[in-house]
A and B are shown apart, each in its own frame.
Chain A
Amino acid sequence: MFAMDSNHQSNYKLSKTEKKFLRKQIKARHTLLRHEGIETVSYATQSLVVANGGLGNGVSRNQLLPVLEKCGLVDALLMPPNKPYSFARYKTTEESKRAYVTLNGKEVVDDLGQKIILYLNFVEKAQWKELRPQALPPGLMVVEEIISSEEEKMLLESVDWTEDTDNQNSQKSLKHRRVKHFGYEFHYENNNVDKDKPLPGGLPDICDSFLEKWLREGYIKHKPDQMTINQYEPGQGIPAHIDTHSAFEDEIVSLSLGSEIVMDFKHPDGIAVPVMLPRRSLLVITGESRYLWTHGITCRKFDTVQASESHKSGIITSDVGDLTLSKRGLRTSFTFRKVRQTPCNCSYPLVCDSQRKETPPSFPESDKEASRLEQEYVHQVYEEIAGHFSSTRHTPWPHIVEFLKALPSGSIVADIGCGNGKYLGINKELYMVGCDRSQNLVDICRERQFQAFVCDALAVPVRSGSCDACISIAVIHHFATAERRVAALQEIVRLLRPGGKALIYVWAMEQEYNKQKSKYLRGNRNSQGKKEEMNSDTSVQRSLVEQMPDMGSRDSASSVPRINDSQEGGCNSRQVSNSKLPIHVNRTSFYSQDVLVPWHLKGNPDKGKPVEPFGPVGSQDPSPVFHRYYHVFREGELEAVCRTVSDVRILQSYYDQGNWCVILQKA
């Protein structure tokens, strides 16, 4: 296969392979240009950009360099971290030309044994602009070789993973790291310890001698009383987080066993510092690095490390001439902390849960508060759970399908809050456009070739009266005030042409109706949160009411609200000001109309978009729980909302598997 410059004039037809290769080369050239600001030139220079030959796509220095050196003397090989390309500079233009001709389209094998094809283009110079600070976060220290190899072996062998019933989840899904706690139990729902319930046994005796030694030698200042053991397989990590201020005192130390790893520290201003933690080293986090910087381990199988200083602790350099990839091994960390008995009084109040007044979300009292609540407990959550969420949303509901199929051919239909696009392709005779607030969910729609865009349901960028129909399934219940819910409905009505119809579904407070429990309540108790409630199979029970629900049957229908001790701020359906939002228990009846509903994230977080958990604390859970805000509707409430909108007539109103539904028509 020989390289073709796109300016090459030829009289013969290119073969299929050559054409394909040429297209790919042009694509590589333009992708680089577009994403990285790298300008390729069509004349020969000493420098080449090697697309597909970068640390970011699994090609290491010791693989690439020999391949390049076959074509001539390599002056420099620059491999920017996390990029799917590198730059090679040859001594002379002759040599680089040789490389351009012979190496274009060359197959190499990456570290995982996968075949990769290199594409080369000439550049004037190798340039990108990444600045890395040279200092460790303040208060951070890494002590190397703090234990011997024998001690490392002994500690690793002392851990008994089999007895843990709590770890069933993580054993089932190999995506999550394993954890064990000693001294105090760490609760992942609120990232805190239960200070009143110390675990029997305290810390294992084996750790005592080490802790005493480290105290004596001044590596640590306080004796810890809590320990967490984490085990990371290659590919596992922990999301960036700050250890809860109110839970633990200043000093947090972590012993790394079994394998080295790179831990990422981030300052809220955006500065990111990768720190190498060698085997048998002790990481000491105090002061600013403990209270203000987040730390985390990226879920990947290779770390970018310094080629010359490999295995040594410290910051990974920004000198890209000295970077290479290091394959991860099985790493176990022993993290020691001292539990706080008093509220935290650190100098970083903005990220301190003791000092921040409004940590638990409460019922919003203004539009601004509502917007913030929705941002944290709806939008941010859907971005993080998008992939998993989409996988549980695969079966279209029969009544919604019915509605769409009844629309005439050529109808313009908007799906407000389209999620993963479940309904966008149901009826090919319609032109359906979806919009959703979640970029990640809209991306899924586009992968499926649907027309979808990102926007807020309160301001849909579609001209008034242009839609023949709209659907909005399980969306309006995410708005935190009655005014916003009305506004959302008004937007939908605005989009409709006169005579146009809309189908609205919202979650019902009454999960038991006409003495029948909804699928949500009937769902498997063991898999709490495993599969969200709104799945339906093809055999939908026809327990719905086609006309306005009979007021008389109300008493037997809804479950009677009970006072529950664990819920603060009143749990009846009236809105009490300043009340904290209760956290709903999945697959049970609702006792409050405004709730936070847990979502247990399963499976790998979606491709490439590591969204930081909103707020400073972050989730440390091997299987994190996200809370979504809902206002569940009482019987008749949705209709009441519709009636506040002018020019609207309710055609149909019914109950469908735990949802209140309305079909309305614009006059």
Chain B
Amino acid sequence: MRLLTHNFLKCNEENCTGGYPLQIKLDDTSSENVKILEQDFNKEFVKNVLSKVDYDVLYNTAKQFGISLLFSYTSQHLEDEGFLNSIHHALFKIHIMEGSLICPQCHVSFPIKDGTLIYIYIYIYIYIYIYF
């Protein structure tokens, strides 16, 4: 799962407000809990996507992965390829493979296994149990 995707994810528990951003916890027992994968750089695409993300969240999340982005940017930076490349790297190339996302409010944890995130209403599981 990319950090760009993480930027849009929030807790979906029924009465949870403020479940954004989700905390990323990597699985330490796994050696490949993060992967860096190549992705073609498309300047316009990166600029357009950047305008949609919550930049503060991106800044903090990138820090967790050892990437220090500019604390804030101006329209001048949008023409700076160096800056855009750093954004591109953070948003697109980092893939979380093994870990979990934890809601800062209700502390529910959603696992990420082999890059896939699983998010289901807990009460559905209860229904299954009763049905049997």
Contact = CB atoms under 8 A, between A and B. Distances in A.
B8 A433 contact: yes
A187 interface: no
A455 B120 contact: yes
B55 interface: no
A30 B31 contact: yes
A633 to B, nearest CB: 25
A410 B8 contact: no
B51 interface: yes
A217 to B, nearest CB: 39
Nearest to B47: A410
Given A268-B132, A368-B127, A461-B12, A456 B48 contact: no
Contacts of A452: 116
Interface in B7-44: 8-12, 14, 20, 29-32, 42, 44
Interface residues of B, number: 39
A462 B1 contact: no
From A409, A431, A446, A452, name the one whose CB has the most chain B CB atoms within 10 angstroms. Answer: A431
Categorize the interface residue count of chain A: 35 or more
B1 A451 contact: yes
Nearest to A460: B12
Contacts of A411: 48
A617 interface: no
Contacts of B67: none
| Chain B CB within 10 A, most for which of A372, A375, A452, A466 | A466
Chain A contact residues: over half helix, strand or loop, or mixed?
A: mixed
Interface string B88-132: 000000000010000000000010001111111100100110011
Nearest to B31: A30
A429 interface: yes
Contact of A455 (B46, B115, B119, B131): B119
A138 B30 CA distance: 43
B116 A453 contact: yes
B10 A462 contact: yes
A34 B44 CA distance: 40
A40 to B, nearest CB: 12
Nearest to B123: A371
Contact of A454 (B8, B14, B116, B132): B116
A468 B52 contact: yes
Nearest to B50: A410
A461 B114 CA distance: 19
B2 A451 contact: yes
Given A371-B124, A442-B116, A453-B1, A26 B31 contact: yes
Interface string A552-573: 0000000000000000000000
A409 B48 contact: yes
Contact of A456 (B10, B45, B124): B124
A463 B8 contact: yes
A521 interface: no
A439 B111 CA distance: 13
Contacts of A437: 120
A453 B117 contact: yes
B52 A371 contact: no
Given A371-B124, A463-B20, A34 B30 contact: yes
Contacts of A368: 127
B4 A409 contact: no
A350 B131 CA distance: 9
A454 B119 CA distance: 6
B131 A409 contact: no
Q: Please give me the 10 A-B residue pairs with the lowest Cβ-Cβ distance, nearest first.
A: A410-B48, A453-B117, A455-B119, A461-B12, A459-B12, A30-B31, A463-B10, A454-B118, A410-B49, A461-B119
10 contacts: A268-B132, A371-B124, A408-B48, A453-B1, A453-B5, A455-B118, A459-B119, A461-B110, A461-B119, A462-B10
Given A371-B127, A463-B9, 13 more contacts: A30-B31, A34-B98, A371-B124, A410-B44, A433-B8, A446-B116, A451-B1, A451-B5, A452-B116, A453-B116, A455-B12, A456-B124, A460-B12
Interface of A: 26, 30, 33-34, 268, 350, 368, 371-372, 375, 408-412, 429, 431, 433, 437, 439, 442-443, 446, 451-456, 458-463, 466-468
Interface of B: 1-2, 4-5, 8-12, 14, 20, 29-32, 42, 44-49, 51-52, 98, 110, 114-121, 124, 127-128, 131-132
